[in-house]
Homo-oligomer: A and B are copies of this chain.
Amino acid sequence: MAEYLIDDVSPYYLHMEMFVTTIREQANDEQRAYWLPLIESWKIIGAYAQTELGHGSNVRGLELEARWDNRTKEFVLHSPTLTASKWWNGSLGRIANHTIVVAQLLLPVPGAPEKYVSHGPHPFIVQVRDMKTHQPLNGVVVGDIGPKYGYITMDNAYMLFDNFRIPHSAMLSRYSSVDVNTGAYTKPAQPALVYGSLTYVRANIVHHARLVLARAVTVAVRYSTVRRQFQDRDGDKNGPEMSVLDYPTVQIRILPLLATTFALHYTGLAMRAVYQNARQDIDKGNFQSLAHMHSMSSGLKSLCTMLAADGIETCRRAMGGHGFGGGSGLIQLNNDYLSKPTVEGDNWMLTQQVAAYLIKKMTAAVNSVDSPGADETDARFKEFVRNKRSGSGKQTFNVLNSDLDIVKSFERRATTMAYEAYEQRVIKKQNWNSLLIQLHKLSKAQSQSILVTTFFEAITIDKTLSAPTKTVLLDLYRLFALYTVENEGYEFFRCNAVSQGDLDSLPSRVQDLMARIRPHAVKLVDSWMIPDYLLDSALGRYDGRVYEDLYNRAHRLNPLNRITFNPNYWEEEIVKGSGDNVANLLAKL
């Protein structure tokens, strides 16, 4: 709780997350028994070093080598090139003394012991700094990479190895192992398991996105209610100025994002449930839900972090001049969050995974179109293919008057695009890379469909909601969905998911929905109950005392005002009364 409220990422963060999680998930029982007590008592501090200077997305392309020396029974860690330097690894730049290191496992070819072959990247646990002096061990070069966009409290590392020897026990061997006597390799039964923790991290990112966006929307809604500017042009010229949130051009930037926070909330919960169920299945040896979970978490990570990152900046700009000021409370939030569209799977890279999954599902559906659906997606795909063959199912949906039809409209668009991708790739054998933009759009359509469906089902199922609350939530659902349709209008039209008449009516419908939500906007952001302490925002204060707080930060708290600069170039003294002058400064250089 203290960490959350302080709102700075801890330089010990990786120790508590990826380091310990990797030991728990990838270490064998003996390794767990040795390392976990040291980690949990903080006797060692660990990090996680995977990404390199030259390789991030392409994990199989990592260059750091772990070569098995069968004579000494050691692995030799070696960075053959500059680009093999580990890079970006948090908690490792100045803090950690141990780290997980992901390296290419090089083993001798059976029968030709001088020849080595790579078995791909594997995790090792490695001590890199002396426990007493905290200096890098011989053969290790490690340090902090310097400033970056956000995350100023985190010590991201570079690290190179020069023929650095580690014992056989360093290789985490729950799923794959090297025989200490023969150097023979045992590969994991289910390779995807190695990436389990990454799926966990992605599911958490989806859940986290809602709170980040809720912070920005809380500030924007509260400030734009307090802020007044201009009388109504067609109204009383001497009346009070209007709250800026009463302008449709401010509403259209903030209120769809308010609706998005709730969409993200319900999808975050659903994503967690899917992850936990899949995890339980896997523990029972059932891997059927793995592909679905992987696709869902990849697509949602991509879409939700984009919605949140862009949403913060939209909120900030919607607040005009004061949004650029430090009193907004959004500057560090924005700088820190801008890492999220890139880390843990680049948002554009990830969409390929979703598309590949959907093309596979569509291929299966086409090939057994008359058998019962194996799951929801399969059933929907089969119905689509049957309708396509029979020429039926061509009516569009009534998205303006039926909440369920909105769900169906999003489904049809995503299904149509999945079919088109299947046609291009499977039937027409198009080059994969030539389809990437189309596949990215497919993933987005699919993930938007999940958001809309989950939002609608959550409101419908929840019997604890009072009637007025449910009414407002349904309006938020409609706003989120129809605003999305409007922005991607032609795609919905092209996929026969929305009629031209409905598309022409969308702008005024969206405006009507915003007018209905406007009176509830402050209460809706208050319902997130984000404390002022965390917001750290003059504009977003719960009590609305925006201007007093801004003035206090400037006039009383800004230490710069205690210094009196001398603005005249022809006088030597720089700060009045300090004795500092240009000659002094030059002498120091």
Contact = CB atoms under 8 A, between A and B. Distances in A.
A277 interface: no
A167 interface: no
Contact of A490 (B249, B320, B503): B503
Contacts of A489: 489-491
A205 to B, nearest CB: 15
A70 to B, nearest CB: 27
Contact of A561 (B144, B148, B432): B144
Interface stretch (A357-365, A394-402, A471-479, A546-554): A546-554
Interface stretch (A51-59, A106-114, A373-381): A51-59
A565 B321 contact: no
A493 B561 CA distance: 57
B569 A320 contact: no
A183 interface: no
A196 interface: no
A475 B429 CA distance: 29
A176 interface: no
A338 to B, nearest CB: 7
A558 B157 CA distance: 12
A134 B252 contact: no
Contacts of A321: 51, 56, 87-88, 342-343
Contact of A248 (B313, B436, B511): B436
A449 to B, nearest CB: 19
A137 interface: no
Contact of A53 (B93, B317, B551, B558): B551
Interface string A553-582: 111011011011111110000001000000
A485 to B, nearest CB: 10
Contact of A342 (B85, B252, B323): B323
B234 A431 contact: yes
A338 B315 CA distance: 13
A173 interface: no
A97 B247 contact: no
Nearest to A81: B547
A94 interface: yes
A544 interface: no
Contacts of A324: 148-150, 338-339, 342
A440 interface: yes
A558 B146 contact: yes
A248 to B, nearest CB: 5
Given A146-B554, A321-B343, A567 B434 contact: no
B135 A565 contact: no
B331 A149 contact: yes
Contact of A147 (B54, B326, B503, B566): B326
Contacts of A564: 94, 133-135
Contacts of A133: 564, 576
Interface string A218-240: 00000000001110111000000
A454 to B, nearest CB: 26
20 contacts: A53-B547, A53-B551, A57-B320, A85-B551, A87-B550, A95-B567, A135-B564, A143-B554, A144-B560, A145-B554, A146-B557, A147-B326, A148-B326, A149-B325, A248-B437, A313-B313, A317-B347, A320-B342, A438-B507, A489-B491
